[in-house]
Structure 1
Amino acid sequence: MAQTSTPEEPARTRPNPRRRSERARKAILTAAGELLGEVGYNRLTMEAIAARAKVGKQTIYRWWPAKSAVVLDVFAELTGGSAGEPLPDTGDLPADLRTVMHGIVDELADPLMDRINRAVIAEMQADPELAEHLTRTLLRPNLDAFGERLRAARDAGQIDPGLDPAITVELLLAPIQNRWMMRTGALSHAYVDTLIDTVMRALRPRD
C-alpha cells in the first residue's frame, strides 16, 4: 500500500525575548502613569504597578531600583524625550523657543500628564528626597539645556551679553509654571508667543 505524504508543518516562530521585554516595559510605564494620576506618588507601590501591568514585581526591579526611577521614566515616556536634551539651534532664538515651549504647554494640557505632574509636585513639597532626586535627574538638566541655548544666543550677539542665563530661563518658564499651577488662565500657543515676544524685548542687546 502506497504511503501518502503529508505536508510538513511550518516551524513555529519562537517568541522574540526583546519584543516581549519591550511590551512588558511599556505595560509597566503605562500602569505606573495611570496609578500615579489616580492615587498620587505617596500611595503608589511596586506591587500595584505589577498588578496593573500584569507582570511579576521582580520584572519591575530588573529595570528600576525604586518607584522614583519608574516615575522618572514615566515622564520621559510621556514627553518623548530625555532629560537635558539640547534645544534646537537654528540661529533664530525666538523660533527655537517657540518650538520647545509650545511642546511644554501641549504636555501640560494633556489630562494624564496634568494629573501626574500635580501628584508629583504635591509630593515633592513633603518629600525632600524625592524633590532632590527629580530636581537632579529631570528638572535641572532641562533648565541647563535652556541656559545653554541662551548662552549660544548671547555668544552670537543676539541677546545682551550682561544677562544671566539662569535668571533669563526663569523669566521664560516661571510664568507658564505659575499659570498652570494656579490655574489663573489658559495655556496656549498664543500665550507662549506673547510671553516670548515680551521677554525678547528685555533681552535685546543695549546700544
Structure 2
Amino acid sequence: MTPPNPDRRSERARRAILDAALELCQEQPFAGVTMEGIAKRAGVGKQTIYRWWPSKAAILLEAITDRGTGTLDFPDTGDIVADLRSQMSEVVRAFNDPMFAAYNRGLIAAAQSDPEIAAGIVKTIIEPRVDLCIERLEKAQQAGAVRRDLDPRDIVELLYAPLYYRLLLHTRPVTPDQVDTILKLSFTGIEA
C-alpha cells in the first residue's frame, strides 16, 4: 500500500482526521464508522479524506501506527523473563487502551479481507516489534538463557499468540496476570 504524499496535505487536517477516526472507533463498532462520519468529526471535506486514504481501515492503520510507539520499546536488563514481562505488559496495556479499540475491533477484522491492510499491519505494527523481540531472544540464546536449538520466531508466536487469542475471540480478558502465566508456562513447561 502506497502511503499518501505527506507534502500534499495539511498536518492540521491530517491530525484531525486521524483523531476523528480513533474517537469514532471508541464510540461505536468499526462497521458503523464511515468516511462521511470521519470527515464530519474532523471538520474536513470527504474528498480530502479520499484523496489521502483509500479506506477507513487505511486511516486507522496510519492513526494507530502514529500513536503506537510505546509498545515498540524492548528492554534489555539481562533478564530475558523480566524483559519479556515488561514488553508484553505494555502490549496488554495497549490492547486495553480505549484509543486502540480501532485496532482491536476493526483493523484486524478489515485485514482479513483487505490484503493491503493486512500487509500494512504486518509491516508497520507487527514486524518492527517481532524484530526487536527476536533480537532480544537471540541475545538470550547467546547468553545461555534460552535454548539455542529453538527458532526465535517460534518463541515469539508462542508468547504473543495467547494475547491475540483472548483479544480476538473475547474468551477472557487480556491481563497482566495472563502475561505471568504465559511466561511461567513457556519457561517451565506444563510437565508434571
Short-chain TM bin? 0.7 to 0.9
Match 1:149 to one of 122, 136, 144 = 136
Work out whether 1:71 is the aligned partner of 2:60.
Answer: yes
Q: Kindly state the Cα deviation for residue 31 of structure 1 after the two structures are TM-superposed.
A: 0.4
> Could you list the per-position Cα deviations for residues 125-147 of structure 1 after superposition, in whole angstroms to 9, with x for gaps in the alignment?
11122212222222222222211
Over aligned residue pairs, what C-alpha RMSD do you find? 2.8
Contact kept in structure 1, 2:22 and 2:102, CA below 8 Å: no
Q: Kindly state the Cα deviation for residue 81 of structure 1 after the two structures are TM-superposed.
A: 3.7
Distance (whole Å) between structure 2 residues aligned to residue 139 and residue 116 of structure 1 = 12
Work out whether 1:106 is the aligned partner of 2:112.
Answer: no
Distance (whole Å) between structure 1 residues aligned to residue 24 and residue 187 of structure 2 = 40
> Could you list the per-position Cα deviations for residues 23-66 of structure 1 after superposition, in whole angstroms to 9, with x for gaps in the alignment?
54432221021234536379642x5433311245687689x555
What corresponds to 2:124 in structure 1? 137
Distance (whole Å) between structure 1 residues aligned to residue 69 and residue 123 of structure 2 = 19
Unpaired stretches in structure 1, ≥5 consecutive residues: 1-20, 203-207
Work out whether 1:40 is the aligned partner of 2:30.
Answer: yes
What corresponds to 1:54 in structure 2? 43
Q: Kindly state the Cα deviation for residue 73 of structure 1 after the two structures are TM-superposed.
A: 2.9
What corresponds to 2:108 in structure 1? 121
Q: Kindly state the Cα deviation for residue 186 of structure 1 after the two structures are TM-superposed.
A: 2.4
What corresponds to 1:27 in structure 2? 16
For 1:26, what is the secondary structure of its paired residue?
helix
> Could you list the per-position Cα deviations for residues 74-109 of structure 1 after superposition, in whole angstroms to 9, with x for gaps in the alignment?
113443448xx4511111111111111111111112
Distance (whole Å) between structure 2 residues aligned to residue 194 and residue 153 of structure 1 = 20
Cα distance, 1:41–1:153 mapped onto 2, change above 3 Å: farther
Cα distance, 1:73–1:128 mapped onto 2, change above 3 Å: closer
Larger helix share, 1 or 2: 2
| Count of residues paired in the alignment | 178
TM-score when normalising by structure 1: 0.72
Distance (whole Å) between structure 2 residues aligned to residue 122 and residue 60 of structure 1 = 21
* Identity level (%): 42
What corresponds to 2:186 in structure 1? 199
Q: Kindly state the Cα deviation for residue 119 of structure 1 after the two structures are TM-superposed.
A: 0.9
Q: What amino acid does structure 1 have at the position aligned with 2:144?
A: G
Distance (whole Å) between structure 1 residues aligned to residue 98 and residue 32 of structure 2 = 20
Q: Kindly state the Cα deviation for residue 201 of structure 1 after the two structures are TM-superposed.
A: 2.3
Unpaired stretches in structure 2, ≥5 consecutive residues: 1-9
Distance (whole Å) between structure 1 residues aligned to residue 81 and residue 66 of structure 2 = 27
Distance (whole Å) between structure 1 residues aligned to residue 156 and residue 18 of structure 2 = 30
Contact kept in structure 2, 1:124 and 1:131, CA below 8 Å: yes
Q: What amino acid does structure 2 have at the position aligned with 1:30?
A: D
Contact kept in structure 1, 2:61 and 2:107, CA below 8 Å: no
